[in-house]
Structure 1
Amino acid sequence: MLLATLSEASWATEQAQQRRAGRDVRQETRQGSRHTKQECRATNQQSNSQRRQDKRQTRQQGRQTARDIKY
């Protein structure tokens, strides 16, 4: 009984750490994509639609990285 409770507690702790790591990755991705878009806008390198696509792709990659951490 005690062993089952301990293993459940350790699983919950591990799961919480995975969720936290996933959130951190997503937050860093958001900040990075904002920064990239602002730089691109300042230097006027691409059209607005291309900037949107780049930002969307960057965020999607961050989401996938977070999924890989969690699952």
Structure 2
Amino acid sequence: METLKFKTNINCGGCIAKVTPALNETVGEGNWLVDTSVPEKILTVKAETISNSIIKRVESVGFRIEKV
């Protein structure tokens, strides 16, 4: 399993609630975390999934995301 980090604009509890179903479906519940306390709003993912799949899923629910 690999740890991937992404810079996002997921910046509040409401945003996390909106992206939760997509991330849980893509990488599994408990395999991701968004740090909203830093300006970059870092999404950390532990997954075997290719980062492009994660990027597409997060973008599909309306958020910006880029690999760090």
Larger proportion of helix: 1
Output the TM-score relative to the length of structure 1: 0.30
Q: Which has the larger radius of gyration?
A: 1
Output the TM-score relative to the length of structure 2: 0.31
Larger proportion of strand: 2
